[in-house]
Structure 1
Amino acid sequence: MAGLYIHIPFCESRCVYCGFYSTTLSSLQERYVEAICKEMELRKDECPEPIETVYLGGGTPSILFKAELDRVFLYINKVFLKGRDTRNMEITMECNPDDICKDDFRLPELVNRVSMGAQTFSDERLRFLRRRHTSRQVRTAVQRLRDMGIGNISVDLMFGFPQETLADLNHDLDEILRLGVDHISAYSLMYEEGTPLYRLREQGKIEEIDEELSLQMYDTLIRRLGEAGFEQYEISNFARPGFRSRHNSSYWRQVPYVGIGAAAHSFNGSDTRSWNVADIRRYIASIERGERPSDSETMDEDTQYDDLITTSMRMREGLDINTLKPKYKEYLLERSKRFVDGGLLGLDGSRLHLTRAGLYISDSIMSELMW
């Protein structure tokens, strides 16, 4: 199997925390759509395996006009899916709740999964994040998606806001569980350099919550979602049985994928990663000339090992050490021994994985396991 990612970078306004490549240059939408369709044509022979998952991310894909979305999916079907039966594929589109609530909103027919950014059910915190939607619109959007026949809905949730309490988080969890969604991606609020949120903290206008409270929030999240029937199959992702994100899981399992659009990344499944330029004007101009504006990296064996550690160890199942070459297997067993002895890693047969206790310091553990 392989994956296809299409990046739609347009947003009406940028959220304070966002570190992904995005733009508010809506005047370029039509040219950009034509460019990504042309890039698909340029790269039609690049993927060695059949596409099994498709993901439209951003940015805000739901901001595109219906005719633009239809054109994108026409090319996805024509170039990569080649008219195959898509019923057993996972085809995801990211949507904003307020877009879904518009009277004229329609999903392309191929879409069978929607990922929606709720983030929080506090309207005050939504305004702080500069989100366009309200908490009420999240509830309305979920119901509208169900009415449209979407049986696989994922919702993003954030925690760790300035001045947030455990009671605030529990309220958000009450609300998100009441929605009856199938998948939840839960992230601690990150202060990425270059974002407005980072600058607010550096200027002393907001204060990050302390580490102990952040860990209590993460523990509460894991406990409550587990009690509600969600499995934590990855550090930040929770799914009802049968509803894991197949596309995102392919990233962590090092399945090949093709990334289309400005700033999109691609991976050949073994040793080569590439990425398109993160500049919408340069991207469009290059594609219009018939050239893909990208750079690439061929990884040596040591880098491939490190890459495997930082992806597979995020998953609940971890890494099968028997798939490693002898020198890397020996090294990993040596480096992981103190974590296994300390209860932070588990070794079940040949499978090395994080334990519940290890989840809280996963980054430092993975750093210690790298070459």
Structure 2
Amino acid sequence: MAGIYIHIPFCRKACHYCNFHFSVSQKLLPQMINAIAHEIILRHEYLKEKIETIYFGGGTPSLLQPDDINLLMDKMFSIFDVEPDAEITLEANPDDITAHKLLAWKSAGINRLSIGTQSFLEADLQWMNRAHNAQQAYESLKLAMQNGFTNISTDFIYGTPDLTNEQWLQNLETAQELNIPHLSCYALTVEPNTALKKMIDLQKKKDVDAEKQSIQFELLMQWAANKGYEHYEISNFAKPGFKSRHNSSYWQGKHYLGLGPSAHSFNGNTRQWNISNNALYIESINKNIVPFEKEELSSTQKINEYLMTALRTNEGIVLPHLELLSDKEITAGIIKDAQRFIRQHLLERKNDALILTSKGKLFADGIAAGLFR
């Protein structure tokens, strides 16, 4: 089984913290839809497996007109072997959500929404430079449920300079009261070359507090456990039956095709990524050329990627799978290196797997680096 990701590189407004590829000008949007539809044809041989997930990401895919989504869906279903029960997700901003659009998305085959709430607090949303307000954040989730969407995820950002622990827990409580079955929660990261980084450097905004972020992450884990959400990946929490199948496929090392500018693809042996330039992408696709760079993955890279992604999940590093990916000697070396993290109660060995403890989840990237070959 495999997945397809479609990158829609347009937004109404630039969030201060965002470092994804997008443009606030929608001038090229019509040409972009046609180009992505044509890339689907050009990439028809990339995936041999059946397609079990499709994900519209961005940018802001909810900017698309229903006809645009129908065009891309029809093209994918005509080119690829899509499973009848495929999970098909659309990322949506609260300010784009209307009853009309929700019904149109459902009619097009969208069966899962990922809504970029980020916060229910007005001050937080203004600080992030989000396009929506607190009322829209709340009403969009309510409206989606009322119009028949039950598989809904919402994104939250915690660890912003002025977010108190009480306010953070209230954000979570509000989502739970709305019966949202999936939460993706991210600590605010100050990325290079973002407006946020520049404003912090100029002392126009406060920097993040790593200790405060750790406390809010621990509060999140405790709250989720008490409310019946499974912490199945570092940043993701789901009620039973509502894990993201698409994102899980990344962590499980399944193959996927990325369509659109800046989108990444992976077939098990190579990784490739499309050019991050809208005009050049469209120009190349119109010449029947997919503009991408590619790298062949070494056996060491494959092992390290598995260590990094598997460690983030609640299944952990499955040792028999690691041995198939590498060999007995390498696996034994990783088990040996893991002992210091086990002694520090950051890792535990359970059922032939190395799994992060709650404390270890605070140091996931460092632990993975300590196991790399």
Q: How would you bin the TM-score normalised by the shorter chain?
A: over 0.9
Aligned residue among 87, 91, 107 for 2:88: 91
Q: Say if 1:5 and 1:55, in contact at 8 Å, map to a contact too.
A: yes
Letter in 2 for 1:55: Y
Tell me, in whole angstroms, the C-alpha distance in 2 between the residues paired with 1:62 and 1:280.
Answer: 18
Report the Cα offset of residue 169 of structure 1: 1.0
CA distance, structure 2, for counterparts of residue 186 and residue 291 of structure 1: 37
Q: Which residue of 1 aligns with 2:196?
A: 197
* Secondary structure, aligned partner of 2:113: strand
Partner secondary structure for residue 27 of structure 1? coil
Alignment partner of 1:336 out of 324, 338, 347: 338
Distance in 1 of aligned mates of 2:269 and 2:210: 37
Q: Is the 8 A contact 2:159 2:216 kept in 1?
A: yes
Structure 1 counterpart of 2:15, one-letter code:
C
Paired with 2:332 and 2:169, the residues of 1 have a C-alpha distance of 44
Q: Could you say what secondary structure the match of 1:26 adopts?
A: coil
Do structure 1's residue 301 and structure 2's residue 303 form an aligned pair?
Answer: no
In the other structure, the counterpart of 1:229 is 228
- Tell me if the contact between 1:4 and 1:259 (Cα under 8 Å) persists in the aligned partners: yes
Sort the Cα spacing of 1:320 and 1:104 in 2 relative to 1 into closer, same or farther, 3 A.
closer
**Structure 1 unmatched runs, 5+:** none
Deviations 1:247-279 (A, max 9, x none): 0000001000000000000000x2210100011
Q: 1-side partners of 2:140 and 2:7: how far apart?
A: 22
Matched residue, 2:370:
368
**Contact persistence 1:101–1:137 (CA under 8 A):** no
**Residues 57 and 90 of structure 2 are in contact (CA less than 8 Å); yes or no, is this contact kept in structure 1?**
yes
Residue 128 (str. 1) matches residue 127 (str. 2):
yes
Within 5 Å, give how 1:162-311 maps onto structure 2. 162-268=161-267, 270-311=268-309
5+ long unaligned stretches in structure 2:
none
SS at match of 1:93: strand
Amino acid at match of 2:314: R
Equivalents in 1 of 2:208, 2:51: separation in Å?
42
Deviations 1:137-196, CA, capped at 9 Å, x for gaps: 122212221232211000001101112211221221222222211100000011000110
Counterpart Cα distance in 2 of 1:104 and 1:220: 35
Q: Percent identity?
A: 34
Rounded Cα–Cα distance in structure 1 between residues aligned with 2:297 and 2:71: 35
Deviation of residue 104 (structure 1)? 5.3
Alpha-carbon RMSD: 1.3
Hey, what's the Cα distance between the residues in 1 that align with 2:109 and 2:282? Answer: 26
The 2-side partners of 1:209 and 1:51 are apart by 40
Distance 1:169 1:328, change over 3 A: same
Whether the 8 Å contact between 2:2 and 2:254 is mirrored in structure 1 is: yes
Q: Matched residue pairs, number? A: 367
The one-letter code sitting in structure 2 at the alignment partner of 1:280 is N
Runs of 4+ in 1 over 4 A off after TM superposition: 102-105
Contact 2:188 2:208 in 1 (8 A): no
Q: Which amino acid aligns with 1:328?
A: I
* Matched residue SS, 2:131: coil
Contact 1:286 / 1:292 at 8 angstroms: preserved in 2? yes
**TM-score normalised to structure 2 length:** 0.95
Rounded Cα–Cα distance in structure 1 between residues aligned with 2:127 and 2:209: 19
User: In structure 2, what is the Cα distance between the partners aligned to 1:184 and 1:104?
Assistant: 22
The residue type paired with residue 126 of structure 1 is L
Opposite residue 255 of structure 1, the aligned amino acid is K
Asked if 2 retains the 8 angstrom alpha-carbon contact of 1:101 and 1:140, the reply is no
The answer as to whether partners of 1:4 and 1:257 remain within 8 angstroms in 2 is: yes
Range with bigger deviation, 161-170 or 235-244: 161-170
| TM score, norm. by length of structure 1 | 0.96
Moved more, 308-317 or 161-170: 161-170
What's the CA shift for 1:360? 0.9
2:262 partner SS: coil
CA contact (8 A) 2:120 2:138 kept: no
Partner of 1:64: 64
Residues 20 and 214 (structure 1 numbering): CA distance in 2 closer, same or farther, change over 3 Å?
A: same
Task: Give me the whole-angstrom Cα distance separating, in 2, the residues matched to 1:308 and 1:141.
Answer: 37
Moved more, 252-261 or 339-348: 339-348
Q: 2:108 aligns to what SS in structure 1?
A: coil
Aligned AA (1:312): A
Conserved? CA contact 1:305–1:328, under 8 Å: no
* Cα distance in 2 for residues equivalent to 1:85 and 1:48: 13
